[in-house]
Amino acid sequence: MSVAQKFMTLKSRLEALPKGRARGLAFVLGFLAAFAMPPLYQLYLLVPAFSGLLWLVMASSTRWQAFVVGWWFGAGFFAAGLYWVSFALLVDAAKFGWLIPLATLGFAFGFGLYSAFTTWVVRAVPGQNLVGKALILASSWTFFEWMRGWFLTGFPWNPLGSVWAFSEPLLQGASVGGVLGLSLLAALSATLPGALAQPGRLAKALNVAVLCMIVITWGLGQQRLVEASQETVPNVRLRLVQPNILQANKWKPALRESHMLTQLKLGAASPRKSERAPTHVIWAETSAPFFLSRHKPWLDMVGKMTPKGGLTILGAPNIASLGAPPQRPMQVTNSILAIDDAGKITAQYDKFHLVPFGEYMPLKKWLPLEKITQGAGSFLPGSGLRTLNLKGLPPVSPLICYEIIFSGEVVEKGGHPQWILNLTNDAWYGKTAGPYQHFVSTRLRAVEQGLPVVRVAGTGMSGIIDGYGRVTAQLALGEQNSVDGDLPKPVPAQTFFAKYGNSTALILIFLVGLMGVFMTRINGHCPPAKKA
């Protein structure tokens, strides 16, 4: 049997699948694709997953059927990739546990819509040429991934480009095209093998071309690392404090003093022999479990334990306005505070990109629910990205929690920071894939901007990352400890991505999609898809 006959037989079998089985198969394929994401990196599963999705779309008789197939694929992908979100609801299971099925299905089928529109586009373009359709699938997937990063405030978690984070050389591609460029490369690598089912040399040539692109990206990345600077900022020694306090215990009034004392002790511990003492101590997001700015005795205590001439930088809720209840309720920000050795707050940053349902309730008029974080009411957003000048440190771009996941939106325009500070609290998600995925996002931002990132998480993973995405100091997930390290200098020359952002990747997405449309029109015409 020829390749063409085998493909037609396969297509006929897929077309004959009952709708329920086709959707179930799509869900399984999407579920498998998520295993390629951090921390598992089972990249080989992307090929059967996306190639199978391509074949299912080609076997769909209408655009609506293709839409539904893509929807179920996306549901499987996001159900497996974001399962850890439901763990946040277990912190107060008595109050929020009942929401777990709704949250799981909501995330899966809500974000699955991006995949649904992806496959709708593939089916809507006339033609049956598999090469062209594979290119359209890869470009559409990446385009809607970009859209997911900003639409409805955005949630660019687990971009497909994250799969390359297992390799430091391949990760260097983010310095040019950002994670979006890496996503396009991953999508092409996963979809084009599916085009080999259709006879012709073009599919083989493009698969070889993509393989060469991966090898070239690796080679250039390896060369970049060989030539990489390892310079550090003189007279700066950072101490990262990770107290490993469980979220269920974090805000208990009887334990707050103990939490503070634990962190003070870790921050003031003597350095190891032959190591320099820290000049700056950094705690995690909301590491002070109360309004620290309103408690002078505790401020004095923090100042007393701060290195002389240095700072303790920590996260804490902060009162922005006392208001006049009930007309004007108290307004609270999620903040980073810099405290000197006299116990004085010398700088403050307020988180501006708040987490929906966690730090504020969207559609509050229609959803009679409370946010899942501590305290009544929503947090007040800050004014936006800032560059802080802190005593004894180069200019820094501070970010809190998931603000670090937004590619191209981590540095103030014209601010010229020399490093990025990310304080977070991943205790909500326990020892799941979530904290590992979050850490990979941090490494990607370092490579994109060419700036070192210092990440301190309450339960891990904390670490110092240089501008090439290399981890120079780290604390494991679930470890109670502190780690000291020098602050790396930025990459000597500004990265291409730092100059042009996602423009390069978007141009490539457009060109790949245009090439796909062109190929479907010159080879393998078929009648247009039926309207749903």
- Structural domains for the chain: 17-226+500-522 (no CATH), 232-490 (3.60.110.10)
What pLDDT is recorded for position 10? 64
> What distance lies between CA 442 and its chain's CA centroid?
8
Nearest to 306 by CA among 259, 347, 267: 267
Strand partners, 241: 482
Nearest to 77 by CA among 101, 119, 123, 46: 46
What pLDDT is recorded for position 527? 44
Q: How far apart are CA 129 and CA 58, in angstroms?
A: 9
Nearest to 460 by CA among 168, 167, 245, 237: 245
What pLDDT is recorded for position 525? 42
- Give, to the nearest 10 degrees, the angle between helix 296-304 and helix 256-268: 20
Quick one: DSSP state of residue 31? H
Q: For residues 415 and 396, is the Cβ–Cβ distance under 8 A?
A: no
Q: For residues 379 and 354, is the Cβ–Cβ distance under 8 A?
A: yes
Quick one: DSSP state of residue 482? E
Q: For residues 400 and 117, is the Cβ–Cβ distance under 8 A?
A: no
H or E element, residue 455: strand 453-457
Q: For residues 509 and 139, is the Cβ–Cβ distance under 8 A?
A: yes
Sign of CA dihedral 229, 230, 236, 237: positive
Nearest to 87 by CA among 372, 363, 376, 462: 372
Sign of CA dihedral 8, 12, 15, 21: negative
What pLDDT is recorded for position 97? 85
What pLDDT is recorded for position 322? 64
Active-site residue list: 285, 351, 401
Sequence-distant (≥ 6) Cβ neighbours of residue 104 within 8 angstroms: 79, 83, 85, 86
- pLDDT by residue for the chain (532 residues), tens digit each? 555 566 667 667 776 778 788 899 999 999 999 999 999 999 999 999 999 999 999 999 899 999 999 999 999 999 999 999 988 888 888 888 888 898 899 999 999 999 999 999 999 999 889 999 999 999 999 999 999 999 989 999 999 999 999 999 999 999 999 999 999 999 999 999 999 988 889 999 999 999 999 999 999 999 999 999 899 999 999 999 999 999 999 999 999 999 999 999 999 998 887 789 999 999 999 999 999 999 999 999 999 999 999 999 999 999 987 665 555 667 899 999 999 999 999 999 999 999 887 777 766 655 556 655 655 567 899 999 999 999 999 999 999 999 999 999 999 999 999 999 999 999 999 999 999 999 999 999 999 999 999 999 999 899 999 999 999 999 999 999 999 999 999 999 999 999 999 999 999 999 999 999 999 987 644 444 555 5
Q: CB atoms < 10 A from the CB of 331, how many?
A: 15
Which amino acid belongs to residue 396? V
Q: Phi first, then psi: what are they for 420, rounded to 5°?
A: -120, 135
Sequence-distant (≥ 6) Cβ neighbours of residue 290 within 8 angstroms: 256, 316, 317
Q: How far apart are CA 13 and CA 26, in angstroms?
A: 15
Quick one: DSSP state of residue 183? H
SS3 state at 340: strand
> Is this prediction's pTM over 0.85?
yes
SS3 state at 21: helix
What pLDDT is recorded for position 433? 95
Sequence-distant (≥ 6) Cβ neighbours of residue 365 within 8 angstroms: none
Terminal C-alpha separation, the chain: 35
